[in-house]
Structure 1
Amino acid sequence: MQKLVVLFAANLALALAFVSPVDNNGPGRQIPIPKPTDEKPNKFDWDVRKPGILDLKTTGTFYDDGGKRLDGSASYSKNFVDHSQKIGAGLNYHDYNSRLGAGLNVQDLDRAGTRVQAELTNTLLKDRFSNIEGGLRYGQTFNTPYGNSEPFFGGFVRGRF
């Protein structure tokens, strides 16, 4: 069941990358999605770690109109020694006008269950050079060999200067 959730999240992230809104003024007329203001390209990273672990990760911006932004990510990790693998996907949304954000990450841990993490954030202070956010976080791992883990709830304050 959890593998279906991970695959659904990955497919949703891919589908959102190729969707463009349709104008109600006429059939088939498409409204172009505004380009991100900072023009950051989609990013693809890979790494080979000892002993025989391959990590692949891609991130990108699906939508950015200057006030609202939706970013997505997908990851894959394969251990060639014990033949385990991890597959994950995530979506992060931020509304700069209301200073609120939300994120959801799902990761299939092969034989160790499925990890789900959600986060809500509020920007407390933002200027040209710094940013301080506060938020709430939830996480839980389902279908481990020992059953479901206890849910994790927490709060945080983080900043960039």
Structure 2
Amino acid sequence: MKYFVLVATLLAVAVAMPFDIFEDEEGEQYYAVPVSREKRQTKWGATNTGFGVSHQGTILNSNNHQLDGSAYASKNWGSHGIKPDQFGGQLDYSHKPSGSSAFVGADRIPGYGTDVSAGLKQNLYQNKNFGVDVTGQYGRHFGGPGGTGKPQSGVFLNAHGTFKVERYKP
């Protein structure tokens, strides 16, 4: 399952990247990949229960596509060893012109299993004050003392709008 998610993610990034092909005087072809420096953010902190670190940033940002990623790990003070007690990450993809998006993520607690989730959102209608979209989500727990759980999934229709409130003047 983890290899499928990795391959699907890499394939999605490769397909989404706009390549420009150039040819030199000898007929040799090259492709140019747009490069942009994006802000990345690393956070860490300690509480009375443990220590945690997270990192997030934009992996790809072009005129039409954006791919963001995040990862985290945490360690409880009372646990033994140096391995993290919980870790995970998520990739978020956005298609800017359509407002559509997708995500895939996983959270793992060694000894208790892994939670995997994925989702898609398709914008059906959008104007200045009102929008409608459809969302599909999937999640499943793998491994741990309770074993692999049943898949949890759903499809949702969402509507959102901005309304102007004015005071009534008789």
* TM-score where L is the length of structure 1: 0.70
State, as a whole percentage, how many aligned pairs show the same letter: 23
- Structure-to-structure mapping, 1:19-38, within 5 angstroms: 23-26=20-23, 29=30, 31-35=32-36
Which residue of structure 1 lines up, in the alignment, with residue 102 of structure 2? 102
- Paired residue secondary structure (2:111): helix
User: Against the structure 1 CA distance between its residues 28 and 136, is the aligned structure 2 distance closer, same or farther, given a 3 Å change threshold?
Assistant: same
Which residue of structure 2 lines up, in the alignment, with residue 43 of structure 1? 41
Q: Compute the displacement of 1:123 (Å).
A: 3.0
Whole-angstrom distance in 2 between the partners of 1:132 and 1:28: 44
Residue type of the alignment partner of 2:113 = G
- Taking CA–CA contacts closer than 8 Å with sequence separation of 6 or more, which of the two structures ends up with the larger relative contact order? 1
Which residue of structure 2 lines up, in the alignment, with residue 92 of structure 1? 92
Q: Compute the displacement of 1:34 (Å).
A: 4.8
Alignment size in residue pairs: 146
- Paired residue secondary structure (1:25): strand
- Paired residue secondary structure (2:97): coil
CA contact (8 A) 2:124 2:134 kept: yes
Q: Give a deviation string over 1:97-122, Cα, whole Å, max 9, x none.
A: 23321110012211111110001112
- Paired residue secondary structure (1:44): strand
- Paired residue secondary structure (1:122): strand
Residue type of the alignment partner of 2:67 = L
- Paired residue secondary structure (1:111): coil
Question: Is structure 2 residue 77 aligned with structure 1 residue 75?
Answer: no
Superposed CA RMSD? 3.4
CA contact (8 A) 1:33 1:63 kept: no
Whole-angstrom distance in 2 between the partners of 1:111 and 1:160: 44
Residue type of the alignment partner of 1:47 = G
- Paired residue secondary structure (2:74): strand
User: Against the structure 1 CA distance between its residues 133 and 45, is the aligned structure 2 distance closer, same or farther, given a 3 Å change threshold?
Assistant: farther
CA contact (8 A) 2:21 2:31 kept: no
CA contact (8 A) 1:22 1:28 kept: no
Q: Which of the two has higher C-alpha Rg?
A: 2
Whole-angstrom distance in 1 between the partners of 2:46 and 2:151: 32
Residue type of the alignment partner of 2:103 = G
* TM-score where L is the length of structure 2: 0.67
Query: Which of the residues 38, 62, 81 maps onto 1:65?
Result: 62
User: Against the structure 1 CA distance between its residues 57 and 122, is the aligned structure 2 distance closer, same or farther, given a 3 Å change threshold?
Assistant: same
Q: Give a deviation string over 1:27-52, Cα, whole Å, max 9, x none.
A: 684524253xxx8611111122222x
